[in-house]
Each structure stands twice: as C-alpha cells, then as structure tokens.
A = this chain, B = another copy of it.
C-alpha cells in the first residue's frame, strides 16, 4: 500500500479495491459490509425489534459525486447523482424509494449553477420515481472544493423472491449487457479536455430501476446485477468472477459499442471495456432464463442494444477472458485505476 492517496485510489480499479480491502474495510468489518455489492441488503427484522418488525429487506447504497466538469453532454452532476444511486440500489434487485442529498459547496459558486443542478436532480428523481427525503449543506472555502460535490444515499425495498448478489454467478450462466459501452466516460472526458469529434458523444446517464424491474419479471432467478461505472465492464466482470469464484468468458465482438466511442477509445488508447457507463447493467442469469431476460431488456427503451456477451465457466476461477475478433483469447484485467479521474 502506498503511503499517500493518489488519484488512482478513486478510479474504480485495482488500486481502489486495494485501498478498500486493506485500509477502509478491515476496521469497519461486519457481515453486512462484507457483502461488497453495489448496495447492501439489510433486514430490520433480524434486529429483534419488537412486533413492529417484518421480513422486509432494504437495500442501501451511498455514492459521492465529484464529476468534472459539472455539466457534460447528456447530463450533469445533479442528474448523475440521482441516477448513480438509483442504479446501485436497483442492482440489489430492489425498488429504490428514497434518496438523501448532501451538498459540499465551494465558496464563490454561482447561485445560478446550484439552482440548475438542483433542478436537474429534481427532474431526474421524478423520472426515476424516487423522492429526495433529507438533505445537508456544507460550504468550504475557495480552493477546498470544486464548485459542487454531492453525496446521495439511496434506500430501496428488495423485490419479493429476488435473490441477486455478486457471489451468485454459477458455471453455465449467461452474461448479458444492456447496451453500448463507454458512452459516459468518453462524453465526460471529451467535454473536460475540449476534444471534438464528428459525432457528438453523449453520456448514457439514466435511471435503471425500470429496466431492472422488467428484467426481473422476465428472469426472476437472475443471479447477479452490476452497473459498470468506474472501471467499466472490465471491473464489473472481474469483481463478479472474483466474488463468485468462477471464470467468465466473453466474446469481444459481441460487446455493443457506438462507432464514435470506439474511434475515440482507439485514438486515446483506451480499452472501451474499462471506460465508465452510467446507464448500463451487466446481468448474469441462468441459461434457461437468458432469452427471456434479453427480450425483456430489448423491449425497454434503455435496453434496446442489449446483448448476450458471454458465459460463466468453471475453469479459470476469478479470471475474465475475452475471445478477440481475430480468434485469440486475452485476459480482461481489472483496470489498475489511472484511467479517468473524477468521471462520476
């Protein structure tokens, strides 16, 4: 472990995982935290809390948003802060209900900018069908923030009968991806760096709760759900393979990607599998429900480009392999984490 924090410690890759596993998690350790999922499932009923308790399962997730710039094609920090947490809660097979919103504002921020961001949050919350139920406001001196940082924490109710978790992938399962990869990361990066491409690149930032409900109705025995944000599909699949103790094999040519994003990645030297998404999900489903799951996703506006991208294997547990377009196989590594700081 390094002795100072570096940007890569927040980039969603191996360095961040090491920081969490070696520094942050051990002192705080408990059974619930150890779930290491996008959202943690808790049961008020297990707490011996008198007759008012029930078998209700809640999903809880927290995320701070530090994206730079605040506004980018297809979204802004406000809508992103709603979508990001709505999506994490949804990945537990839960219906997100309530969000909290906590702002760290930098002295000197234009009031108009704040107003615009809050309106965007409100619109995103309405669209996702969640309520923002509590808030907090802090202000830090000029040069100790960057305009606006937002934390959202989300609470949802796990749907009855649904059992998803990052440790539930089984050999033979099918790996599905709900749409094109890399749109968010490339859109934010190009805005930040002032890159212009022939086609405008737009973030995919969107609330996935509706898509998840449709998917789980069609494939109620879905094993894993993950939204490939920081670290992209590569990080999501590596985490699922590692936590479930299985191998994953994907077909590179099956990964949906917009030509403009592919071109930008090639120009910038990025592997699109490691670029962040904010409106996509990876689902691992038993083979007998794969077709129904895929159809349900494709019938939803946010899953039109959904594809079957691979399978879960007994071989090479913990490892993600890709069959390349020229017929070889390569290891899809967990990104180290130097790629794109402050993408969400």
Contacts and interface: CB of A to CB of B under 8 A. Distances in A.
Interface of A: 1-11, 16, 19-20, 23-25, 27-28, 30, 32-33, 39-40, 42, 44, 47, 49-58, 60-66, 95, 97-98, 100-112, 114-115, 118-119, 121-122, 125, 131-141, 143-146, 149, 151, 153, 155, 157, 160, 341-342
A160 B23 CA distance: 38
A23 B111 contact: yes
Contacts of A151: 62, 64, 102, 136, 151, 153
A125 B11 CA distance: 27
A10 B105 contact: yes
Given A32-B133, A56-B52, A125-B28, A7 B64 contact: no
Given A97-B47, A138-B10, A104 B66 contact: yes
A341 B141 contact: yes
A135 B62 contact: yes
A5 B117 CA distance: 14
A31 to B, nearest CB: 8
A139 B9 contact: yes
Closest 3 pairs between A and B when the two form their complex, measured CB to CB: A10-B139, A54-B54, A62-B100
Chain copies in the assembled complex? 2
A117 B266 CA distance: 41
B134 A49 contact: no
Nearest to A54: B54
Nearest to A144: B146
B52 A5 contact: no
A258 B55 CA distance: 48
B28 A122 contact: yes
Contacts of A47: 97, 157
B133 A24 contact: no
A33 B134 contact: yes
Given A7-B139, A64-B151, A151-B153, 18 more contacts: A3-B112, A4-B111, A10-B137, A25-B135, A28-B101, A28-B125, A32-B131, A40-B134, A42-B97, A42-B98, A47-B157, A52-B157, A60-B133, A64-B104, A64-B136, A100-B153, A140-B146, A153-B153
B61 A134 contact: yes
Contacts of A44: 56, 58, 97, 157
B10 A133 contact: no
6 contacts: A24-B118, A52-B55, A58-B58, A62-B136, A102-B151, A143-B143
B33 A135 contact: yes
Given A16-B137, A97-B44, A62 B153 contact: yes
Looking at A2, A44, A133, which has the most chain B CB atoms within 10 Å of its CB?
A133
A160 B50 contact: yes
Nearest to A112: B3
A47 B70 CA distance: 33
A155 B109 contact: no
B135 A20 contact: yes
A64 B115 contact: no
Looking at A51, A102, A342, which has the most chain B CB atoms within 10 Å of its CB?
A102
Looking at A54, A95, A138, A151, which has the most chain B CB atoms within 10 Å of its CB?
A138
Nearest to A115: B23
